[in-house]
Structure formats: C-alpha cells, structure tokens
Amino acid sequence: GPFYPLGTPSKGGDLTRVDGRPGSAQGQLLYLGGRVLSQSGEPVRGAKLEIWQANSHGRYNHPEDRRNLPLDAGFEGYGRASADTTGTARFGTVKPGRVPWPHGGAGGSGMQAPHVNISIFARGVLNRLATRLYFEGDPANAEDPVLKLIPAERRATLMARRDGTTWRLPIYLGGAKETVFFDV
C-alpha cells in the first residue's frame, strides 16, 4: 500500500459508514482535522484533501491487499473533503492498524506505525502533494521505517496532536514550518 480506491468514494469525509451497508466501521472512532496553511501561515481555503488508510485491523480495502486480515464492511478506507475558511478539512474515521513495511534497505523492515496517507490539491499547486499523518505519542512511531528516513527535527511536521475528540495536523505548504512531503 497505500492503495487507491477502485471507484469514487461515496461518503466524502466520513469513512465510518458505507452507503448501502448496515452498521459502522470497527475500531476506535476518531476525527481528523487537516489544516492547510500557506508558507506565511494563512489558511488555504478550498484546498482538497484526500485520505486513504488501512482499517483498524491493518488491512487496506483493495483487492491487491491479500493479507489474511479481516476486511471491514463498514469502512471504505478512502475519503475526500474540502478545506473551509480556516483551511481545515475534516474527516470521521478509525485509528488505522499497523501495516507491514514492504521494502528493505534504509527504511528497515517490520511494521509501520498507525498512519493516514494524505494528498493535498490546492490553487497554485500543480501536482498533488503527498504526506502522512501519524498520531503523536503512539509508541509504534519510534520503530516506523518511514519516520526513520526523515531527519528527527522534521518528524514533528507529520505528528497530529489530540485536541478533545479530534486529531489535528497543520499542513504548511512552504516556509520554515513546511510539512514533509513525499515523492510519489
């Protein structure tokens, strides 16, 4: 992974229910708030955020994820939302399970920490920007192969902080606080 959906998502920013299926997603329900900011800290209104993630068992909802882990009929694993006037896009989801690191080499091996993959589209951004959201304080962060590839002083740009029931991640598109973005 990550795996892109095979079709268009049906629920926008709510990944916890799937149209036409009873029930809701399994696992720890939570809210995410990704706030897109310019290099000067101004909100980027109307930015589009797409997220995709594994379910609470650590399995992507995609046919190429053939690991013997449970699928969740109440969870799509993909959502899209637009930023409001504060630059914030909101999602309802579950805390993802850990997924294996598919590559050896500098990143090591083993399991990745729970994370959410994010793509950002905004006015003036010619190609999508790809980043990740990790959960601040999760003990698995210390052994995550992707985080190990990032200089220690830059890792904080990927850490969402809990604010009540919402995990918030500021995403800076440039400047001294620029978020770490990945080549895709």
Are 79 and 12 spatial neighbours (Cβ–Cβ below 8 Å)? yes
Strands, DSSP E only, in 40-182?
48-52, 78-82, 88-94, 115-121, 129-135, 159-163, 166-172
Q: What is the mean pLDDT of the chain?
A: 90
**pLDDT tens by residue, 22-56:** 889 999 999 999 999 999 999 999 999 999 999 99
pTM of the model: 0.90
Could you read off the pLDDT of 102-122 as tens digits, one per residue?
A: 765 455 568 999 999 999 999
Rg of the chain (C-alpha set): 16
